[in-house]
Structure 1
Amino acid sequence: MDFTGFEVRKCPPTAMYIPNFITSEEEQRILSHIERTPKPRWTQLLNRRLVNYGGVPHPNGMIAEEIPEWLQSYVDKVNNLGVFESQNANHVLVNEYLPGQGILPHTDGPLFYPIISTISCGAHTVLEFAKRAPTAADAEAEAVDAAGDQAACRQVLFKLLLEPRSLLILKDSLYSDYLHSIGETSEDVLCDRICNYDLCETTYKMGDHLVRRAPRISLTIRNVPKTSKMKLKFC
Protein backbone atom coordinates (compact mmCIF):
# COMPACT_ATOMS: atom_id res chain seq x y z
CA MET A 1 0.00 0.00 0.00
CA ASP A 2 1.17 3.51 -0.76
CA PHE A 3 1.06 5.43 2.54
CA THR A 4 1.96 8.79 0.99
CA GLY A 5 -1.44 10.33 1.67
CA PHE A 6 -1.49 9.12 5.28
CA GLU A 7 1.92 10.24 6.52
CA VAL A 8 1.91 12.73 9.39
CA ARG A 9 4.33 15.35 8.09
CA LYS A 10 4.38 17.70 11.08
CA CYS A 11 6.26 15.31 13.39
CA PRO A 12 9.56 13.39 13.19
CA PRO A 13 9.61 10.28 10.98
CA THR A 14 7.60 8.20 10.78
CA ALA A 15 3.91 8.22 11.72
CA MET A 16 1.07 7.18 9.44
CA TYR A 17 -2.55 7.77 10.39
CA ILE A 18 -5.44 6.11 8.56
CA PRO A 19 -8.94 7.19 9.68
CA ASN A 20 -11.80 4.68 9.38
CA PHE A 21 -9.42 1.76 8.87
CA ILE A 22 -12.21 -0.46 10.16
CA THR A 23 -15.97 0.02 9.79
CA SER A 24 -18.43 0.74 12.59
CA GLU A 25 -19.69 -2.84 12.26
CA GLU A 26 -16.17 -4.24 12.63
CA GLU A 27 -15.59 -1.98 15.62
CA GLN A 28 -18.73 -3.28 17.33
CA ARG A 29 -17.70 -6.89 16.67
CA ILE A 30 -14.30 -6.23 18.25
CA LEU A 31 -15.87 -4.57 21.30
CA SER A 32 -18.35 -7.42 21.66
CA HIS A 33 -15.58 -10.04 21.65
CA ILE A 34 -13.52 -8.03 24.14
CA GLU A 35 -16.53 -7.65 26.43
CA ARG A 36 -16.92 -11.45 26.50
CA THR A 37 -13.25 -12.06 27.37
CA PRO A 38 -13.12 -14.15 30.57
CA LYS A 39 -11.90 -12.18 33.57
CA PRO A 40 -8.94 -14.56 34.30
CA ARG A 41 -7.60 -13.80 30.80
CA TRP A 42 -7.02 -10.15 31.77
CA THR A 43 -3.89 -8.80 33.48
CA GLN A 44 -4.89 -5.99 35.83
CA LEU A 45 -2.40 -3.12 36.17
CA LEU A 46 -2.70 -0.03 38.34
CA ASN A 47 -3.83 2.20 35.48
CA ARG A 48 -5.50 -0.19 33.01
CA ARG A 49 -5.97 -3.85 32.16
CA LEU A 50 -4.68 -5.84 29.19
CA VAL A 51 -4.68 -9.16 27.37
CA ASN A 52 -1.83 -10.70 25.35
CA TYR A 53 -2.78 -12.67 22.23
CA GLY A 54 -0.18 -14.67 20.33
CA GLY A 55 1.93 -15.25 23.46
CA VAL A 56 3.74 -13.23 26.10
CA PRO A 57 6.90 -11.51 24.74
CA HIS A 58 10.03 -12.44 26.71
CA PRO A 59 13.78 -11.82 26.20
CA ASN A 60 14.28 -15.58 25.92
CA GLY A 61 11.64 -15.85 23.22
CA MET A 62 7.85 -15.86 23.01
CA ILE A 63 6.06 -19.21 23.23
CA ALA A 64 3.62 -18.81 20.38
CA GLU A 65 -0.10 -19.13 20.98
CA GLU A 66 -2.74 -19.23 18.28
CA ILE A 67 -4.53 -15.90 17.86
CA PRO A 68 -8.34 -16.31 17.89
CA GLU A 69 -9.93 -16.29 14.44
CA TRP A 70 -12.01 -13.17 15.13
CA LEU A 71 -8.84 -11.24 15.98
CA GLN A 72 -6.60 -12.82 13.35
CA SER A 73 -8.77 -11.25 10.64
CA TYR A 74 -7.63 -7.77 11.79
CA VAL A 75 -4.02 -8.91 12.07
CA ASP A 76 -4.33 -10.10 8.46
CA LYS A 77 -5.84 -6.78 7.45
CA VAL A 78 -2.78 -4.98 8.83
CA ASN A 79 -0.37 -7.54 7.34
CA ASN A 80 -1.98 -7.07 3.93
CA LEU A 81 -0.87 -3.43 3.97
CA GLY A 82 2.77 -4.54 4.09
CA VAL A 83 3.19 -2.61 7.34
CA PHE A 84 5.87 -4.94 8.70
CA GLU A 85 7.86 -5.02 5.47
CA SER A 86 9.18 -8.59 5.10
CA GLN A 87 7.64 -9.71 8.40
CA ASN A 88 4.10 -10.48 9.52
CA ALA A 89 2.49 -9.49 12.81
CA ASN A 90 2.20 -12.38 15.28
CA HIS A 91 1.18 -10.62 18.50
CA VAL A 92 -1.69 -8.42 19.68
CA LEU A 93 -1.78 -6.50 22.95
CA VAL A 94 -5.33 -5.50 23.87
CA ASN A 95 -5.46 -2.55 26.28
CA GLU A 96 -8.59 -1.24 27.95
CA TYR A 97 -8.50 2.41 29.02
CA LEU A 98 -11.29 3.81 31.17
CA PRO A 99 -11.75 7.59 31.50
CA GLY A 100 -8.91 8.97 33.61
CA GLN A 101 -6.59 6.05 32.80
CA GLY A 102 -3.46 6.24 30.64
CA ILE A 103 0.03 4.85 30.21
CA LEU A 104 3.34 6.35 31.36
CA PRO A 105 6.04 7.43 28.86
CA HIS A 106 7.74 4.37 27.38
CA THR A 107 9.27 2.80 24.30
CA ASP A 108 8.20 -0.61 23.06
CA GLY A 109 11.81 -1.77 23.15
CA PRO A 110 13.89 -4.53 21.54
CA LEU A 111 11.48 -7.46 21.99
CA PHE A 112 9.51 -6.28 18.95
CA TYR A 113 10.25 -5.59 15.31
CA PRO A 114 10.58 -1.77 15.39
CA ILE A 115 7.15 -0.97 13.97
CA ILE A 116 3.92 -0.45 15.93
CA SER A 117 0.41 -0.58 14.50
CA THR A 118 -2.60 0.32 16.67
CA ILE A 119 -6.32 0.12 15.97
CA SER A 120 -8.47 2.28 18.28
CA CYS A 121 -12.01 1.23 19.20
CA GLY A 122 -14.81 2.78 21.22
CA ALA A 123 -13.44 6.27 21.88
CA HIS A 124 -10.67 8.73 21.06
CA THR A 125 -7.42 9.32 22.89
CA VAL A 126 -4.42 11.64 22.54
CA LEU A 127 -0.97 10.08 22.25
CA GLU A 128 1.85 12.29 23.57
CA PHE A 129 5.51 12.17 22.52
CA ALA A 130 8.67 13.25 24.31
CA LYS A 131 12.32 12.93 23.36
CA ARG A 132 14.02 9.93 24.83
CA ALA A 133 17.23 10.68 26.72
CA PRO A 134 20.00 8.25 25.69
CA THR A 135 20.94 7.22 29.21
CA ALA A 136 21.85 3.88 30.76
CA ALA A 137 18.65 4.06 32.78
CA ASP A 138 16.57 4.30 29.62
CA ALA A 139 18.41 1.37 28.06
CA GLU A 140 17.70 -0.73 31.14
CA ALA A 141 14.06 0.34 31.13
CA GLU A 142 13.60 -1.04 27.60
CA ALA A 143 13.87 -4.56 29.04
CA VAL A 144 10.52 -4.32 30.83
CA ASP A 145 7.74 -6.70 29.79
CA ALA A 146 5.11 -6.09 27.15
CA ALA A 147 3.04 -4.00 29.54
CA GLY A 148 6.12 -1.79 29.36
CA ASP A 149 5.37 1.15 31.66
CA GLN A 150 8.38 3.36 32.39
CA ALA A 151 8.14 6.21 34.86
CA ALA A 152 9.62 9.18 33.05
CA CYS A 153 9.15 12.92 33.19
CA ARG A 154 9.70 14.44 29.77
CA GLN A 155 8.52 17.56 28.01
CA VAL A 156 5.72 16.74 25.57
CA LEU A 157 6.88 17.89 22.13
CA PHE A 158 3.95 16.85 19.95
CA LYS A 159 0.75 14.80 20.05
CA LEU A 160 -1.44 12.65 17.83
CA LEU A 161 -5.22 12.47 18.05
CA LEU A 162 -6.41 8.88 17.67
CA GLU A 163 -10.04 8.60 16.64
CA PRO A 164 -12.20 5.49 16.94
CA ARG A 165 -11.71 3.03 14.06
CA SER A 166 -8.37 4.59 13.07
CA LEU A 167 -5.05 2.84 12.46
CA LEU A 168 -1.78 4.41 13.63
CA ILE A 169 1.60 3.14 12.44
CA LEU A 170 4.83 4.24 14.15
CA LYS A 171 8.35 3.40 12.94
CA ASP A 172 11.88 4.77 12.41
CA SER A 173 12.98 7.45 14.91
CA LEU A 174 9.48 7.66 16.42
CA TYR A 175 9.95 4.06 17.54
CA SER A 176 13.51 4.30 18.78
CA ASP A 177 14.12 7.91 19.86
CA TYR A 178 10.81 9.04 21.38
CA LEU A 179 8.74 8.02 24.38
CA HIS A 180 4.99 7.83 23.87
CA SER A 181 2.32 8.06 26.55
CA ILE A 182 -1.36 8.71 27.26
CA GLY A 183 -2.20 11.23 29.97
CA GLU A 184 -4.40 10.20 32.87
CA THR A 185 -7.23 12.63 32.22
CA SER A 186 -10.98 12.49 31.64
CA GLU A 187 -11.03 14.92 28.69
CA ASP A 188 -8.61 16.39 26.18
CA VAL A 189 -8.06 19.94 24.97
CA LEU A 190 -7.15 20.42 21.32
CA CYS A 191 -3.90 22.34 20.98
CA ASP A 192 -1.37 23.27 18.30
CA ARG A 193 0.91 20.39 19.29
CA ILE A 194 -1.49 17.87 17.73
CA CYS A 195 0.10 17.05 14.37
CA ASN A 196 -2.53 15.07 12.46
CA TYR A 197 -5.58 17.32 12.29
CA ASP A 198 -5.42 17.30 8.48
CA LEU A 199 -5.75 13.50 8.39
CA CYS A 200 -8.59 13.18 10.90
CA GLU A 201 -12.07 12.14 9.84
CA THR A 202 -13.66 15.03 11.77
CA THR A 203 -12.81 18.72 11.42
CA TYR A 204 -11.75 20.10 14.80
CA LYS A 205 -11.52 23.65 16.09
CA MET A 206 -8.35 24.60 17.99
CA GLY A 207 -8.93 25.05 21.70
CA ASP A 208 -12.09 22.95 21.77
CA HIS A 209 -12.50 20.40 24.50
CA LEU A 210 -13.15 16.98 23.07
CA VAL A 211 -16.09 15.03 24.38
CA ARG A 212 -15.12 13.55 27.70
CA ARG A 213 -13.20 10.33 27.32
CA ALA A 214 -15.14 7.08 27.19
CA PRO A 215 -13.87 3.51 27.56
CA ARG A 216 -11.37 2.79 24.78
CA ILE A 217 -9.96 -0.50 23.51
CA SER A 218 -6.69 -0.47 21.60
CA LEU A 219 -5.35 -3.36 19.53
CA THR A 220 -1.59 -2.97 19.32
CA ILE A 221 -0.48 -5.31 16.55
CA ARG A 222 3.23 -6.10 16.35
CA ASN A 223 5.81 -8.66 15.27
CA VAL A 224 7.85 -10.55 17.87
CA PRO A 225 10.92 -11.84 15.99
CA LYS A 226 12.15 -14.26 18.66
CA THR A 227 9.40 -16.87 18.84
CA SER A 228 9.29 -20.61 19.47
CA LYS A 229 8.22 -22.85 16.59
CA MET A 230 5.77 -24.66 18.86
CA LYS A 231 2.35 -22.98 18.84
CA LEU A 232 -0.06 -23.43 21.73
CA LYS A 233 -3.79 -23.40 21.11
CA PHE A 234 -6.29 -22.26 23.72
CA CYS A 235 -9.98 -23.06 23.45
Structure 2
Amino acid sequence: MEHPCSIFEDLERYVVRDAPPTVYYIPDFITEDEESQLLQQVYKAPKTKWTQLSNRRLQNWGGLPRPKGMLGEKLPDWLLKYCERISALGAFAGKTANHVLVNEYKPGEGIMPHEDGPLYHPTVTTISLGSHTLLDFYRPISAQELDEVPQTEESRYLLSLLVRPRSLLILQDDMYQRLLHGIQGTHHDSLTERVANLLATGVLPGATLTRGTRVSLTVRHVPIVMRANLLLGRK
Protein backbone atom coordinates (compact mmCIF):
# COMPACT_ATOMS: atom_id res chain seq x y z
CA MET A 1 0.00 0.00 0.00
CA GLU A 2 1.32 3.44 -0.90
CA HIS A 3 2.12 5.87 1.87
CA PRO A 4 -1.00 7.92 2.55
CA CYS A 5 0.81 11.24 2.54
CA SER A 6 4.04 12.21 0.75
CA ILE A 7 4.43 15.56 2.47
CA PHE A 8 7.23 17.75 1.17
CA GLU A 9 10.29 17.80 3.42
CA ASP A 10 10.05 21.54 4.14
CA LEU A 11 6.79 20.86 5.99
CA GLU A 12 8.50 18.59 8.51
CA ARG A 13 8.91 21.60 10.77
CA TYR A 14 5.13 21.61 11.19
CA VAL A 15 4.94 18.07 12.59
CA VAL A 16 3.36 17.91 16.05
CA ARG A 17 5.95 15.80 17.88
CA ASP A 18 3.89 15.27 21.04
CA ALA A 19 1.10 13.46 19.18
CA PRO A 20 0.98 9.97 17.67
CA PRO A 21 1.82 9.71 13.97
CA THR A 22 1.06 11.91 12.18
CA VAL A 23 -0.11 15.51 12.61
CA TYR A 24 0.94 18.56 10.63
CA TYR A 25 -0.31 21.87 12.02
CA ILE A 26 0.36 24.93 9.83
CA PRO A 27 -0.64 28.27 11.39
CA ASP A 28 -1.74 31.08 9.04
CA PHE A 29 -2.02 28.80 6.03
CA ILE A 30 -4.33 31.42 4.55
CA THR A 31 -4.45 35.20 5.02
CA GLU A 32 -7.17 37.20 6.76
CA ASP A 33 -8.38 38.42 3.35
CA GLU A 34 -8.61 34.83 2.09
CA GLU A 35 -10.48 33.84 5.23
CA SER A 36 -12.95 36.68 4.70
CA GLN A 37 -13.46 35.76 1.02
CA LEU A 38 -14.01 32.09 1.86
CA LEU A 39 -16.59 32.96 4.52
CA GLN A 40 -18.40 35.19 2.04
CA GLN A 41 -18.55 32.35 -0.49
CA VAL A 42 -19.79 29.86 2.11
CA TYR A 43 -22.65 32.14 3.16
CA LYS A 44 -23.48 33.10 -0.43
CA ALA A 45 -24.34 29.46 -1.17
CA PRO A 46 -28.05 28.84 -1.78
CA LYS A 47 -30.12 27.65 1.18
CA THR A 48 -30.67 24.34 -0.60
CA LYS A 49 -26.92 23.67 -0.32
CA TRP A 50 -27.15 23.52 3.47
CA THR A 51 -28.04 20.33 5.37
CA GLN A 52 -29.22 20.95 8.92
CA LEU A 53 -28.17 18.37 11.52
CA SER A 54 -29.05 18.30 15.21
CA ASN A 55 -25.74 19.81 16.29
CA ARG A 56 -24.48 21.75 13.25
CA ARG A 57 -25.16 22.41 9.58
CA LEU A 58 -23.04 21.56 6.57
CA GLN A 59 -22.49 21.86 2.84
CA ASN A 60 -21.27 19.04 0.62
CA TRP A 61 -19.15 19.92 -2.45
CA GLY A 62 -17.74 17.58 -5.09
CA GLY A 63 -20.35 14.85 -4.71
CA LEU A 64 -21.72 12.52 -2.06
CA PRO A 65 -19.22 9.79 -1.09
CA ARG A 66 -20.78 6.31 -1.00
CA PRO A 67 -19.31 2.81 -0.56
CA LYS A 68 -19.55 2.08 -4.30
CA GLY A 69 -18.11 5.43 -5.29
CA MET A 70 -18.90 9.13 -5.51
CA LEU A 71 -20.91 10.63 -8.34
CA GLY A 72 -18.49 13.45 -9.00
CA GLU A 73 -19.52 17.09 -9.30
CA LYS A 74 -17.32 19.97 -10.41
CA LEU A 75 -15.92 21.95 -7.51
CA PRO A 76 -16.44 25.74 -7.68
CA ASP A 77 -13.31 27.79 -8.37
CA TRP A 78 -13.30 29.27 -4.86
CA LEU A 79 -12.83 25.79 -3.39
CA LEU A 80 -10.76 24.29 -6.21
CA LYS A 81 -8.06 26.89 -5.56
CA TYR A 82 -7.48 25.56 -2.03
CA CYS A 83 -7.86 21.90 -3.03
CA GLU A 84 -5.00 22.41 -5.47
CA ARG A 85 -2.89 24.31 -2.95
CA ILE A 86 -3.23 21.57 -0.34
CA SER A 87 -2.70 18.81 -2.89
CA ALA A 88 0.49 20.53 -4.05
CA LEU A 89 1.92 19.91 -0.56
CA GLY A 90 1.81 16.18 -1.27
CA ALA A 91 -1.08 15.62 1.11
CA PHE A 92 -2.75 12.99 -1.09
CA ALA A 93 0.31 11.18 -2.44
CA GLY A 94 0.27 12.97 -5.79
CA LYS A 95 -3.50 12.97 -6.21
CA THR A 96 -5.72 16.06 -6.15
CA ALA A 97 -8.44 16.67 -3.58
CA ASN A 98 -11.90 16.33 -5.10
CA HIS A 99 -14.26 16.69 -2.13
CA VAL A 100 -14.90 19.44 0.43
CA LEU A 101 -17.21 19.22 3.42
CA VAL A 102 -18.10 22.61 4.91
CA ASN A 103 -19.23 22.45 8.55
CA GLU A 104 -20.57 25.38 10.55
CA TYR A 105 -20.24 25.12 14.33
CA LYS A 106 -21.84 27.77 16.48
CA PRO A 107 -20.72 28.19 20.11
CA GLY A 108 -21.93 25.20 22.09
CA GLU A 109 -22.08 22.90 19.06
CA GLY A 110 -19.77 19.93 18.50
CA ILE A 111 -19.56 16.45 17.06
CA MET A 112 -19.41 13.03 18.74
CA PRO A 113 -16.14 11.04 18.56
CA HIS A 114 -15.98 9.29 15.19
CA GLU A 115 -13.67 8.14 12.41
CA ASP A 116 -13.88 9.26 8.79
CA GLY A 117 -13.89 5.73 7.41
CA PRO A 118 -12.54 4.03 4.29
CA LEU A 119 -14.33 6.05 1.59
CA TYR A 120 -11.47 8.56 1.49
CA HIS A 121 -7.73 8.52 0.84
CA PRO A 122 -6.30 7.99 4.37
CA THR A 123 -5.47 11.65 4.93
CA VAL A 124 -7.77 14.45 6.07
CA THR A 125 -6.95 18.14 5.80
CA THR A 126 -8.91 20.98 7.40
CA ILE A 127 -8.86 24.76 7.00
CA SER A 128 -10.54 26.59 9.89
CA LEU A 129 -12.34 29.92 9.51
CA GLY A 130 -13.80 32.38 11.99
CA SER A 131 -12.99 30.79 15.34
CA HIS A 132 -10.77 28.27 17.07
CA THR A 133 -11.86 24.86 18.24
CA LEU A 134 -10.41 22.09 20.37
CA LEU A 135 -10.26 18.76 18.54
CA ASP A 136 -10.20 15.81 20.95
CA PHE A 137 -8.81 12.33 20.20
CA TYR A 138 -9.84 9.02 21.73
CA ARG A 139 -8.83 5.38 21.67
CA PRO A 140 -11.50 3.19 20.04
CA ILE A 141 -13.52 0.88 22.26
CA SER A 142 -11.61 -2.37 22.67
CA ALA A 143 -13.54 -5.65 22.81
CA GLN A 144 -10.71 -7.15 24.89
CA GLU A 145 -11.24 -4.60 27.64
CA LEU A 146 -15.03 -4.70 27.78
CA ASP A 147 -15.08 -7.17 30.66
CA GLU A 148 -12.42 -5.31 32.65
CA VAL A 149 -13.38 -1.68 33.13
CA PRO A 150 -16.19 0.44 31.68
CA GLN A 151 -14.78 2.31 28.69
CA THR A 152 -16.09 5.82 29.03
CA GLU A 153 -15.32 8.69 26.70
CA GLU A 154 -13.23 10.20 29.50
CA SER A 155 -11.17 7.03 30.02
CA ARG A 156 -10.46 6.72 26.28
CA TYR A 157 -9.41 10.36 25.86
CA LEU A 158 -5.77 10.76 24.77
CA LEU A 159 -5.05 14.34 23.72
CA SER A 160 -6.37 17.46 22.04
CA LEU A 161 -5.26 19.77 19.25
CA LEU A 162 -5.98 23.49 19.33
CA VAL A 163 -7.07 24.49 15.83
CA ARG A 164 -6.85 28.25 15.26
CA PRO A 165 -8.52 30.31 12.52
CA ARG A 166 -6.68 30.31 9.16
CA SER A 167 -4.67 27.22 10.07
CA LEU A 168 -4.33 23.99 8.10
CA LEU A 169 -4.47 20.68 9.96
CA ILE A 170 -3.31 17.46 8.26
CA LEU A 171 -3.97 14.07 9.87
CA GLN A 172 -2.73 10.70 8.66
CA ASP A 173 -1.46 7.32 9.93
CA ASP A 174 -2.67 6.45 13.45
CA MET A 175 -4.23 9.86 14.02
CA TYR A 176 -6.50 9.26 11.03
CA GLN A 177 -6.87 5.49 10.83
CA ARG A 178 -6.82 4.31 14.45
CA LEU A 179 -8.05 7.10 16.73
CA LEU A 180 -11.48 8.70 16.95
CA HIS A 181 -11.83 12.48 16.93
CA GLY A 182 -14.59 14.76 18.15
CA ILE A 183 -15.45 18.26 19.36
CA GLN A 184 -17.09 18.95 22.72
CA GLY A 185 -20.25 21.06 22.57
CA THR A 186 -19.08 23.91 24.79
CA HIS A 187 -18.72 27.69 24.75
CA HIS A 188 -15.26 27.84 26.34
CA ASP A 189 -12.08 25.77 26.07
CA SER A 190 -9.60 25.50 28.95
CA LEU A 191 -6.17 24.61 27.62
CA THR A 192 -4.03 22.09 29.49
CA GLU A 193 -0.73 20.31 28.87
CA ARG A 194 -2.71 17.61 27.02
CA VAL A 195 -3.12 19.99 24.06
CA ALA A 196 -0.31 18.52 22.00
CA ASN A 197 0.32 21.48 19.67
CA LEU A 198 -0.03 24.30 22.18
CA LEU A 199 3.49 25.62 21.54
CA ALA A 200 2.76 26.04 17.82
CA THR A 201 -0.38 28.09 18.51
CA GLY A 202 1.21 30.77 20.68
CA VAL A 203 -1.28 30.16 23.49
CA LEU A 204 -0.10 29.48 27.03
CA PRO A 205 -1.25 26.53 29.18
CA GLY A 206 -4.02 27.55 31.55
CA ALA A 207 -5.62 29.95 29.09
CA THR A 208 -9.36 29.83 28.44
CA LEU A 209 -10.62 30.65 24.96
CA THR A 210 -14.18 31.64 24.10
CA ARG A 211 -15.59 30.07 20.97
CA GLY A 212 -17.23 32.01 18.17
CA THR A 213 -18.85 30.61 15.06
CA ARG A 214 -16.38 28.36 13.27
CA VAL A 215 -16.57 27.20 9.66
CA SER A 216 -14.33 24.29 8.72
CA LEU A 217 -13.38 23.23 5.21
CA THR A 218 -12.56 19.51 5.31
CA VAL A 219 -10.65 18.82 2.11
CA ARG A 220 -10.21 15.18 1.02
CA HIS A 221 -9.58 12.90 -1.93
CA VAL A 222 -12.26 10.32 -2.77
CA PRO A 223 -10.51 7.55 -4.78
CA ILE A 224 -13.58 6.05 -6.46
CA VAL A 225 -15.49 8.55 -8.59
CA MET A 226 -18.28 7.56 -10.96
CA ARG A 227 -19.39 9.52 -13.99
CA ALA A 228 -23.05 10.32 -14.53
CA ASN A 229 -23.07 8.91 -18.07
CA LEU A 230 -21.83 5.56 -16.76
CA LEU A 231 -24.66 5.42 -14.23
CA LEU A 232 -27.25 6.33 -16.86
CA GLY A 233 -26.01 3.49 -19.05
CA ARG A 234 -26.65 0.90 -16.35
CA LYS A 235 -29.92 -1.03 -16.15
Same fold at TM > 0.5: yes
Is 2:130–2:212's contact at 8 Å kept on the other side of the alignment? Answer: yes
Q: Deviations over 1:166-202 (max 9, x none)?
A: 00000001111100000000010011100002222xx
CA RMSD of aligned residues (A): 1.6
Aligned counterparts of 1:204 and 1:165: Cα–Cα separation in 2: 15
Aligned counterparts of 2:205 and 2:19: Cα–Cα separation in 1: 18
Q: Deviations over 1:130-157 (max 9, x none)?
A: 011355xxxxxxxxxxxxxxxx835321
Aligned counterparts of 1:41 and 1:161: Cα–Cα separation in 2: 29
Q: Deviations over 1:28-74 (max 9, x none)?
A: 00000111111111111000001110000001210000000111101
Structure 2: where are the runs of 5+ without partners? Answer: 1-7, 144-151, 230-235
Task: Please state how far the C-alpha of 1:222 moved relative to its aligned partner.
Answer: 0.4
Aligned counterparts of 2:204 and 2:173: Cα–Cα separation in 1: 30
Aligned counterparts of 2:121 and 2:222: Cα–Cα separation in 1: 6
**2:75 is matched with which residue: 67, 74, 89?**
67
Structure 1: where are the runs of 5+ without partners? Answer: 136-151
Question: What is the one-letter code of the residue matched to 1:167?
Answer: L
Q: How does 1:3-18 map to 2 (within 5 A)?
A: 3-18=11-26
The equivalent residue for 1:188 is: 189
SS at match of 1:87: coil
The equivalent residue for 2:203 is: 204
Q: How does 1:122-141 map to 2 (within 5 A)?
A: 122-133=130-141
Aligned counterparts of 2:28 and 2:215: Cα–Cα separation in 1: 15
Q: Deviations over 1:93-141 (max 9, x none)?
A: 0000000001100000011111000000001000000011355xxxxxx
Q: Would you say 1:20 and 2:28 are equivalent positions? A: yes
The equivalent residue for 2:226 is: 228
Question: What is the one-letter code of the residue matched to 2:227?
Answer: K
Is 2:198–2:205's contact at 8 Å kept on the other side of the alignment? Answer: no
Task: Please state how far the C-alpha of 1:88 moved relative to its aligned partner.
Answer: 1.5
Aligned counterparts of 1:134 and 1:44: Cα–Cα separation in 2: 32
Task: Judging by fraction of residues, say which structure has more helix.
Answer: 2
Rg larger for: 2
Q: Would you say 1:50 and 2:58 are equivalent positions? A: yes
Task: Please state how far the C-alpha of 1:229 moved relative to its aligned partner.
Answer: 3.4
The equivalent residue for 1:101 is: 109
The equivalent residue for 2:162 is: 161
Question: What is the one-letter code of the residue matched to 1:80?
Answer: A
The 4+ residue runs of structure 1 with deviation greater than 6 A are none
Aligned counterparts of 2:191 and 2:199: Cα–Cα separation in 1: 13
**Aligned length, in residue pairs:** 213
